[in-house]
């Protein structure tokens, strides 16, 4: 069988034969992983399924004010919606970049006030919202 080269014996005779084979296997493995991950990433693109029956929340503004405080400022959030805000609702406030969340422990009736504490300061612009 002259002219036929046994691939295994040829590799063993090449300088660094086993190293070259191992390096080739690693390169092919890496390329395979990249190809698979790219195809999976592309498969995830496209249609985003949504549930049209889920209600979308609406951000509602509330009245908010804060007074000067050497130890802490008291943030007062007033329900100005004319409706009851249910217990468990999160009210988000922002005072001069300080942010906080008040989780209502009980229903907050129209015109009622709930308070929270902020770091010491001189009061200032305050906003409050919740998602209805």
pLDDT digits (tens, 9 = 90+) for 86-119: 999 999 999 999 999 999 999 999 999 999 999 9
What is the average per-residue pLDDT within 70-82? 94
Cβ 127 vs Cβ 63: under 8 Å: no
Q: What confidence tens digit (pLDDT) does each residue in 20-55 have? A: 656 666 766 766 666 665 555 555 566 666 667 767
Number of neighbouring beta carbons within 10 Å of residue 117: 13
CA distances from 100 to 66, 92, 112, 120, 123 (A): 13, 6, 19, 14, 15
Give the span between the Cα atoms of 38 and 72, in whole angstroms.
53
| 4-8, 30-34, 63-67, 127-131: least confidently modelled range | 4-8
């Amino acid at each position: 069988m002259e002219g036929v080269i046994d691939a295994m014996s040829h590799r063993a005779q090449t300088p660094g034969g086993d190293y070259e084979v191992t390096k080739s296997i690693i390169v092919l493995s890496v390329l395979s992983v990249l190809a698979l991950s790219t195809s999976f990433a592309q498969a995830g693109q496209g249609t985003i399924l949504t549930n049209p029956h889920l209600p979308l929340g609406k951000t509602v503004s509330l009245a908010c004010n804060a007074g000067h405080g050497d130890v802490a400022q008291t943030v007062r959030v007033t329900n100005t919606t004319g409706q009851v805000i249910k217990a468990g609702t999160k009210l988000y406030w922002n005072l001069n970049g300080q942010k906080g969340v008040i989780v209502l422990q009980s229903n907050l009736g129209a015109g009622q006030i709930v308070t929270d504490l902020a770091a010491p300061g001189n009061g200032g612009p305050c906003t409050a919202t919740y998602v209805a």
